Amino acid sequence: MNLFIDYQTKILKLLKKLESKEIIKIPKKINSITIELPPKNQEAHISCNAAMLLAKENNQKPIEVAKILVKHFTKDFKEFNSVEIAGPGFLNISFNQKFWKNYLNQVIKLNTKYGSNKLKKKKYNIEFVSANPTGPLHVGHCRGAVLGDTLANIFTFNGNNVTKEYYVNDYGGQIKIFVNSVYYRILEIIKNEPFPSNLELYPGDYIIDIAKEVIKSKSIKDFSNLKKIFNLLSKKSISLSMKIIENNLKMLGIKHDNFVYESNLVKNNLVNNVIKKLKVKNYVYNGKLDVPKGEQTKEWKQRDQLLFRSSLFGDDTDRPLQKIDGSWTYFAGDMAYHSNKISRKFDILINILGADHAGYTKRIISVTKAISNNKVDLICKVSQLVKLFKNGEPFKMSKRKGDYITIEDLINEVGADATRFIMLNRSNDVEFDFDFKKVTEKSKDNPVFYVQYAYARINSVFRSLKVNLKSNLKINNEKYLLNNHELEILKKIAEWPKCINLSLSKLEPHRIPFYLYELATLFHSYWTLGNVNKEYRFINEEKNLTRLALLQAVSIVIKNGMTILGVSTPEKM
RNA sequence: CUGCCUCUAGCUUCAACUGGAUAGAGCGCCGCGCUUCGGACGCGGAGGUUGGGGGUUCGAAUCCCUCGAGGCAGGCCA
């Protein structure tokens, strides 16, 4: 059920009928004829741009075409209360009471499914977070995590099959540093050897915790030779680190369906295989890279290396696959990973990346095209930077210095609900200044509470009336007429499926918190009217069901929306 | 130097249904309402050359070009 799409279809059908009767001519750009929301100063419920788009083809002014359409619209659609011509030729349409009451009944009947769009089912794979398994997640990871999870919720809500995936980068240089760090912490604990300051190591306290856990597990007895135990220690440390990360995600209400380990891809020869395949297609070759312009040339030594021809697919340059020591680059592993994704036959692949990896999107999209012969599209969503501030001062986080705010810190201070709502309450490709102090101070007038409060107020009405909010109401021929305030709320409710549809097709979840805020505003505003004028109270002598049904519908939409956002809806606050 | 992202009200917050009507919210500011079906509320006001300039058309914050500002990135980190 989507008012805007339904009436687009119905009106197009009518236009075709009119064409067959030679009343009007229809231009080719027929799909641009849409149903829109009238501007806020208009009382109309929906608005149609048909007359303006038909004008040229019919050699008439938009207003003249509009006059013809008004005649046929009112004749064909009994549910239209009025059709008026406005502005340059918009048709402003209002529905009658019967239509809206019926609409309310349908919303309530659909309940948890209201807002979901009937589209072709698709199989989605969405990869997000994928942070290095070298320690707890920090605030910077949070935005991408929440974005990915919420997108996944939107896909699921619309009836799709979704796999939430985490790519564990457990192969490469950072891991060595991490395992070394754990090793020296272990020596510090059991042999009292001072933690070296001359080596490149992670100083964070969580390394000590991991070291303690390794000792406790007793799976390694002799720590005298790092080389001998490296593989085992690495496996152990990474698994402990992943436990921390999964726990962090759990605090945000996030649970991945699948974890893919880079080391497994290497071990199972997947990297080799992909490179072999691409060599055959001549997409992988041995060659030299040009020195990047503007780079200091001192450090740069041109050398022969294994390269992927990503420049063929729109990337700026070809990309290296092998390091100087012969081991694979991160990109080579990711290539194998994406080949693996493709082989699992998803309809849509999505990667959520942090802003600092934005330069990476072109090459990974290239590789997906190369492997799938241009058949599979990978969509990369970049979640822009979260700039951290502490007391108004920019705050740089560094894993190396062990100086950063973890997700755990954040949630303990602000709570998961507010964290998710704040992170989602802006477009993901806009930078986001996050003042830790300010957010914790302001948590009380955070928009999330405003929306939750509306839900709690509705619950309070149903509690006082001793009516179960969870059992569906139904309006039968009640004489009560919805007033303008109520129609405003209903209009907003009717907008919900459109909001979901846009969030889905544009992959922009931020529309949902904005929408919910607006719905809550209309509700609170109406509620306050009841303080002044008893006519507007939900609990009144008339005991009309329609008004109560409207309340129930609002609660349904808030509930559905908040569930998608991963934010709770308490019945009392 | 090159690529990507961003620029909308006083603002360290952001919308604008993807080309539609008089560009809207939040915070802050000013002025009100309510001894409540829960004040974690509501109403009103001031505040704008949508970073500058040009172009495309019935119509541009939105598309194209150009200039400016900020951010991120640029093989042997991930």
Is residue A441 included in any domain, yes or no? Answer: no
pLDDT at A156 > cutoff 80: yes
What is the pLDDT at residue A438? Answer: 67
**CA to C1' distance (Å), from A3 to B77:** 51
Residue A399 binned pLDDT confidence (cut-offs 50, 70, 90): low
A206 touches strand B (CB under 7 A): no
In this complex, the answer to whether residue A442 has its CB under 7 A from any atom of chain B, a nucleic strand, is no
Q: Point out the domain boundary residue: A197, A229, A251.
A: A251
Say whether pLDDT at A521 is over 60.
yes
A235 and A329: one domain?
A: no
Asked whether residue A317 carries a pLDDT value surpassing 90, the answer given is: no
Q: How far apart are CA A258 and CA A152, in angstroms?
A: 13
Nearest residue to A484 (alpha-carbon basis) of A18, A34, A100: A100
- In whole angstroms, give the CA distance from residue A103 to residue A497: 13
Q: Which pLDDT does position A218 carry in this prediction?
A: 92
> Does A427 map to a domain?
no
Asked if A222 and A308 sit in the same domain, the reply is no
Beta carbon of A396 within 7 Å of strand B? no
Secondary structure in 3-state letters for A117-137: CCCCCCEEEEECCCCCCCCCC
For residues A219 and A208, the answer to whether their CB atoms sit within 8 Å is no
For A402-442, write each residue's pLDDT tens digit.
Answer: 567 788 888 887 888 988 988 888 777 777 777 766 666 66
C-alpha–C-alpha distance, residues A9 and A27, integer Å: 16
| Protein CA at A556 to nucleotide C1' at B39, angstroms | 25
Is residue A564 within 8 Å of residue A154, measured between CB atoms?
A: yes
- Indicate if CB(A170) is under 7 A from strand B: no
Average the pLDDT over A13-42 and give the result: 86
Higher pLDDT pick, A291 / A514: A514
A36 touches strand B (CB under 7 A): yes
A455: confidence class by pLDDT, cuts 50, 70, 90: very high
Report pLDDT for A48: 92
Closest-approach nucleotide to residue A389, Cα vs C1': B12
What pLDDT, on a 0 to 100 scale, did the predictor assign at position A212?
96
Going by C-alpha positions, the residue among A2, A22, A16 that lies closest to residue A76 is A16
Task: Please indicate, yes or no, if residue A244 is contained in any of the structural domains.
Answer: yes
* A530 lies in some domain: yes
Mean pLDDT, all residues of chain A: 88
The model's confidence at residue A298, banded by pLDDT at 50, 70 and 90, is low
Q: Are A108 and A549 spatial neighbours (Cβ–Cβ below 8 Å)?
A: yes
Nucleotide nearest to A292 (CA to C1'): B74
Buried residues in A190-223 as b, exposed as e (16+ CB within 10 A): eeeeeeeeeeebbbbebbbbbbebbeeeeeeeeb
A169 strand B contact, CB < 7 Å: yes
Of A339, A361, A386, the position where a domain reaches its end is A386
Least confident piece of the model among A27-41, A76-90, A320-334, A545-559 = A27-41
> In this predicted structure, which of A17-26, A249-258, A394-403 has the lowest mean pLDDT?
A394-403
The last residue of one of the domains, among A205, A220, A251, is: A251
Based on the fold, state whether residues A452 and A555 are members of the same structural domain: yes
pLDDT of A351 > 90? The answer is yes
C-alpha radius of gyration, chain A, whole number: 29
Q: Among chain A residues 229 through 288, which have CB within 7 angstroms of nucleic chain B?
A: none
Number of continuous H segments (helices) and E segments (strands) in chain A: 19, 15
pLDDT digits (tens, 9 = 90+) for A176-232: 999 999 999 999 999 999 999 888 888 888 999 999 999 999 999 999 999 999 999
DSSP-assigned beta bridge partners for residue A258: A165
Give the pLDDT score at A400: 54
Q: How far is the CA of A484 from the C1' of B59 (A)?
A: 31
Position A270 pLDDT exceeds 70: yes
Average pLDDT (A460-479) is 90
Say if residue A149 is in the same domain as residue A214: no
Domain-located, residue A410: no
Please check whether residues A346 and A276 belong to one and the same domain.
yes
Residue pair A551/A538 in contact (Cβ under 8 Å)? The answer is yes
Res. A361: pLDDT tops 70: yes
Q: How far apart are CA A163 and CA A397, in angstroms?
A: 31
The amino acid at residue A242 is: M
pLDDT of A441 reads 65
Is the separation of the CB atoms in A223 and A229 below 8 Å?
yes
Highest mean pLDDT among A302-316, A360-374, A427-441: A360-374
Going by pLDDT thresholds of 50, 70 and 90, the confidence category of residue A553 is very high
Q: Give the other-Cβ count within 10 Å of A441's Cβ.
A: 10
- pLDDT higher for A320 or A396? A320
In a domain, A368, yes or no: yes
Distance A434 CA to B69 C1' (A): 22
Mean pLDDT of A489-509: 91
A329 CB closer than 7 A to any strand B atom: yes
Is it the case that residue A359 has pLDDT exceeding 90? Answer: no
CA of A287 to C1' of B47 (A): 60
Are A289 and A203 in a shared domain? Answer: no
Report the distance separating Cα A343 and Cα A530, nearest Å: 60
Distance, Å, A41 CA → B22 C1': 9
Is residue A374 one of the residues assigned to a domain?
Answer: yes
- 3-state DSSP call for residue A46? strand
Cβ neighbours of residue A362 closer than 8 Å, sequence gap 6 or more: A310, A313, A314, A315, A316
The residue-averaged pLDDT of A242-270 equals 95
Same structural domain, A379 and A458: no
Is strand B less than 7 A from the beta carbon of A450?
yes
Q: Three-state DSSP class for A134?
A: coil
* The token pair that represents A527 in the structure block: 């509620």
A445: CB within 7 A of chain B nucleic strand? yes
Q: Residue A490 above 70 pLDDT?
A: yes
In strand B, the nucleotides that come within 7 Å of a protein beta carbon are 1-7, 12-18, 20-22, 24-27, 33-34, 36-43, 58, 70-78
Lowest-pLDDT range, A237-251, A436-450, A519-533?
Answer: A436-450
CB A376 under 7 Å to nucleic chain B: no
- Average the pLDDT over A357-372 and give the result: 89
> Percentage of residues in chain A with pLDDT exceeding 70?
94
Q: Does A154 score more than 60 pLDDT?
A: yes
**Torsion angle of alpha carbons A179, A183, A186, A192, nearest 10°?**
-150
- In this prediction, residues A476-495 reach a mean pLDDT of 91
Q: What number of other Cβ atoms are within 10 A of residue A52's Cβ?
A: 20
Whole-number Å distance between alpha carbons of A305 and A313:
20
Asked if strand B comes closer than 7 Å to A37 Cβ, the answer is yes
Which domain range does residue A53 map to?
A: 3-95
- Calculate mean pLDDT across residues A301-315: 85
Which position has the token pair 């007391």? A391
CA of A432 to C1' of B24 (A): 21
pLDDT for residue A106: 96
State the pLDDT at residue A546: 93
Statement: the CB of A200 is under 7 Å from strand B: no
- Report whether pLDDT(A479) > 60: yes
Give residue A29's pLDDT.
74
Same domain, A496 and A558: yes
| Chain centroid to CA A134 | 25
- What confidence score (pLDDT) does residue A94 get? 94
Residue A436 CB neighbour total at 10 angstroms: 18
Q: Identify whether the C-beta of residue A559 lies closer than 8 Å to the C-beta of residue A470.
A: no
| d(C-alpha A8, C-alpha A39), whole Å | 18
A461, two tokens:
């009405």
Q: pLDDT per residue over A57-100, tens digit each?
A: 888 888 888 999 999 999 999 999 999 998 888 999 999 999 99
Helix (H, G, I), strand (E, B) or coil at A110: helix
* A511 and A376 share one domain: no
Strand B lies under 7 A from the Cβ of residue A52: yes
Q: Count structural domains, chain A.
A: 4
Q: Write the CATH number for A60.
A: 3.30.1360.70
Is the minimum distance from the CB of A324 to strand B below 7 Å? Answer: yes
Rounded Cα distance between A220 and A299, Å, is 41
Q: Is the ipTM of this complex over 0.85?
A: yes
List of residues 6+ apart from A190 with CB closer than 8 A: A215, A223
Rounded to the nearest 10°, the torsion over CA A188, A194, A197, A200 is -20
Residue A488 near residue A422, CB atoms below 8 Å: no
How far apart, in whole angstroms, are the C-alpha atoms of residue A460 and residue A304?
A: 72
SS3 state at A328: strand
Q: Give the pLDDT score at A71.
A: 93
Q: Are residues A145 and A264 in the same domain?
A: yes
Torsion angle of alpha carbons A332, A338, A340, A345, nearest 10°? Answer: -160
One domain for residues A220 and A274 = no
Is residue A41 a part of any domain in this protein? yes
Spatial separation of the C-alpha atoms in residues A134 and A279, rounded to whole Å: 33
Cβ contacts of A126 within 8 Å, gap of 6 or more: A148, A151, A152, A155, A162, A163, A164, A165, A350, A351, A352
Phi/psi of residue A351, each to 5°?
-115, 135
Indicate if A293 and A150 belong to the same structural domain.
yes
CATH number, domain with residue A488: 1.10.730.10
Q: What is the pLDDT of residue A367?
A: 92
Measure, in angstroms, how far nucleotide B19 C1' is from residue A120 CA: 28
Pick out residues 92-151 of chain A having their CB under 7 A from any atom of nucleic acid strand B: 92, 132
Show Cβ contacts of residue A210 under 8 Å, excluding neighbours closer than 6 positions. A182, A185, A237, A240, A241, A244
Sequence-ordered list of residues with C-beta below 8 angstroms from that of A176, at least 6 positions apart, any chain: none
Closest nt to residue A540, judged CA to C1': B37
**What is the per-residue pLDDT for A440?**
67
DSSP A45: S
3-state secondary structure of A93: strand
